[in-house]
Structure 1
Amino acid sequence: APKTIEDVAMTTPNPDGQSPHLDGGLIMSIEEILDFHITPKQITNRWARVSFHVQDNGLHSYRVPVVTGEKQDDLAGSLTYLFDENEKLQRIDFLGFTHDPSTLIEVMKREHRMTKRPSHVQALYIKSQNKLPVSALRIIASEIISTSAPADPLEVRLELNRLHLGATLSDSFRALLKADKQGEQI
């Protein structure tokens, strides 16, 4: 019987449209799931459990559970893909946990040109366009205490927006950054 998350993912065929996996199956790299070329069909083919919502702003979202593995730098949480009326991916949100954010940080710096910003939180990386933040990675010490892990998990909040004229962070992420600046908890 499979013993680890990775074993279970390996025993389920990679998503091929015939066999969606509960947590997206075997994920080889973070970039694989943080890609603006992903389509709604790829999401429903890959994940067995997808929560669909229509947003007030005209976007529609697909939320899925994700576990990238069991190593310290792996991620566990929920991933939300937001599409416009033309099925073009506009925003990717991740809310979850990791024990070691270094791989995610490196991907954000390399692939999304985020830069570290001064902050009261553990780590804050932002991509700006026309001096306005358009994507952000926020890492804080988690309130969850793990008895089995050598270190407590860190809470990760990531928002990636497709770069276009007028692209901006969501209201909720901007409110979070504002509260961080004022030293509050949301």
Structure 2
Amino acid sequence: MGDNEQKPQEQPKPPPPTPVLNQVILAVIGLLLVLSPIVVLSGSGSLAAVLAKILSGEPVLTSLGMGNGSDQKTVSPQEVEEALPPLVDMSEIFRFDISPDWVVSRFPRVTTGLAILNFQGYRVPLVTGTAEDDLVGTVTYYFDASRQVRRIVFEGTTGNPNRLLAFLATYYGFVYRPTNNPAVYLYVVPEEGSRGETHSYLWIRPRGVLTSSDPQHRFDLSLVLERPDR
């Protein structure tokens, strides 16, 4: 190479991640938790581990395995807690004496525009607790033109459905109905003169893979509650 020839200039290295990126990633995690808890929380042992690291004060990028934590802002437990849905009890959720205003005031994030037939839907994230028999998922309330709840739909998971079954049997009269599939369980509200048809029902499906580290996600639940006529 001649003296007059110039060596190609080396490309500058990209700057390290800024602390603002931590806040962006945290916001994305919180948004996913609120908007789609079924997708994020079902089988989410890794996500739970990430949140545990964040709660201990570890930087977000480090918790996600994307950095060594140098020059990064730590996230407070309060910031993580604010991104999670509020804890609620089953008796507070599965009821028909509520209004759209109650739903909006009770939950920090509500998805609307879920109209079916003549009903308007309001969907909220649901977490009843951290025990095996607690529920994780979403609840959708369908209101009619008079702003009365006509239908409640829950989609989610649990580690033990017995507490939910006891609640539904006590307050709504759910009973077990045998099916041709031994892998699923069906509970319904018997309706007189309906020729076997039911409107309120609960499907329970055991998951294909069960892990001891994820005790709240052993059964998939699909619940539909129709407003009692009485």
Q: TM-score, normalization: structure 1?
A: 0.71
Residues 109, 49 of structure 1: alpha-carbon distance in 2 compared, 3 angstrom cutoff: same
Residues 85, 105 of structure 1: alpha-carbon distance in 2 compared, 3 angstrom cutoff: same
Q: Map of 1:162-173 to 2, 5 A cutoff?
A: 162-164=227-229
Counterpart secondary structure, 1:129 = coil
2:186 aligned residue (113, 119, 124): 124
Counterpart secondary structure, 1:105 = helix
How many pairs align? 150
Q: Residue 68 of structure 1 corresponds to which residue in structure 2?
A: 128
Q: Residue 205 of structure 2 corresponds to which residue in structure 1?
A: 140
Q: Residue 169 of structure 2 corresponds to which residue in structure 1?
A: 109
Structure 2: how far apart are the matches of 1:125 and 1:96?
16
Q: Which whole-Å deviations, capped at 9, do the CAs of 1:4-60 have from their partners, x for residues lacking one? A: xxx97xx87xxxxxxxx852x232x31110010121111100111111024241100
Counterpart secondary structure, 2:229 = coil
2:127–2:136 CA contact under 8 A, matched in 1? yes
- CA shift, 1:146, in A, is 4.2
1:49–1:64 CA contact under 8 A, matched in 2? yes
Structure 2: how far apart are the matches of 1:150 and 1:54?
31
Q: Map of 1:1-186 to 2, 5 A cutoff?
A: 23=85, 25-27=86-88, 29-119=89-179, 120=181, 121-130=183-192, 131=194, 132-143=197-208, 145-146=210-211, 148-149=213-214, 153-164=218-229
1:79–1:92 CA contact under 8 A, matched in 2? yes
1:134–1:163 CA contact under 8 A, matched in 2? no
Structure 2: how far apart are the matches of 1:60 and 1:144?
36
Unpaired stretches in structure 2, ≥5 consecutive residues:
1-53, 57-76
Q: Residue 168 of structure 1 corresponds to which residue in structure 2?
A: none
Residues 53, 128 of structure 1: alpha-carbon distance in 2 compared, 3 angstrom cutoff: farther
Q: Which amino acid aligns with 1:159?
A: V
Residues 46, 141 of structure 1: alpha-carbon distance in 2 compared, 3 angstrom cutoff: same
- CA shift, 1:163, in A, is 2.1
- CA shift, 1:152, in A, is 5.2
Structure 2: how far apart are the matches of 1:154 and 1:54?
26
| Poorly superposed stretches of 4+, deviation over 4 Å | 143-147
**RMSD over aligned Cα, in angstroms?**
2.6
Counterpart secondary structure, 2:139 = strand
- CA shift, 1:141, in A, is 1.3
Q: Which protein is richer in helix relative to its size?
A: 2
Structure 2: how far apart are the matches of 1:151 and 1:52?
27
Q: Which protein is richer in strand relative to its size?
A: 1
Structure 2: how far apart are the matches of 1:147 and 1:53?
38
Unpaired stretches in structure 1, ≥5 consecutive residues:
13-20, 166-186
Counterpart secondary structure, 2:102 = helix
Structure 1: how far apart are the matches of 2:130 and 2:212?
15
Structure 1: how far apart are the matches of 2:209 and 2:143?
32
Counterpart secondary structure, 2:198 = strand
1:125–1:137 CA contact under 8 A, matched in 2? yes
